[in-house]
Amino acid sequence: MSGTGGRHAYLAAKSEADNYNRELQREQEEIDTVPDVEAAEIADILSQYGLGPAEYGPVVTTLRNNPKAWLEFMMKFELGLEKPEPRRALVSAATIALSYVAGGLEPLLPYVFVPRAEHAMAVSVAVTLAALLFFGFVKGRFTGDRPFLSAVQTTVVGALASAAAYAMARAVQSI
């Protein structure tokens, strides 16, 4: 399961970077082949911010004289695209994969240290609920939500998801 989340994060970030690069090439081609049209687009963009020809004229000229800045301006203000971080795909994949591993270890560790399965399950449930409360509280603090409400919501959702997974496993086991 950890490979799936990490792989999806990697592919999403890679897809975003590929899309940016395609648009970058297309925009560069337009600057090279139809520079007057692209310059008019700069004027249109700047006029939307309340600038008149006297104000945006020098900006258009300056950008036309600096091809790299011109391309960056068009990417950001015409297309609304920011250059993605080069390592974002790998960092995103690794972060999600490690999160899956860390989150998956908490409910499993009691089975390593508690000899009887019935007791290990009770400890696993308690440890999992405590972890959900803790992470929900921390999430609430970082997102600006009310930490206690966030803790309760995270715990309830996690408990329901765990119960559903347990019920499905039991149902499949009985087939």
pLDDT in tens, 6-63: 666 666 767 777 888 898 899 999 989 998 998 898 888 888 888 888 888 888 899 8
pTM for this one?
0.51
Cα–Cα nearest to 24, from 84, 114, 88, 92: 84
Q: What is the pLDDT of residue 150?
A: 94
**More confidently predicted of 92 and 60:** 60
Q: What is the pLDDT of residue 9?
A: 64
> Which of the four pLDDT bands, split at 50, 70 and 90, describes residue 141?
very high
Q: What is the pLDDT of residue 1?
A: 44
Q: What is the pLDDT of residue 151?
A: 94
**What are 144-165's pLDDT values in tens digits?**
899 999 999 999 999 999 899 8
Q: Cα–Cα distances in Å, from 18 out to 11, 15, 25, 65, 79?
A: 10, 5, 11, 28, 15
Pull the structure tokens for residue 156: 């309830």
Q: What is the pLDDT of residue 82?
A: 79
User: Phi and psi of 88, rounded to 5°?
Assistant: -60, -40
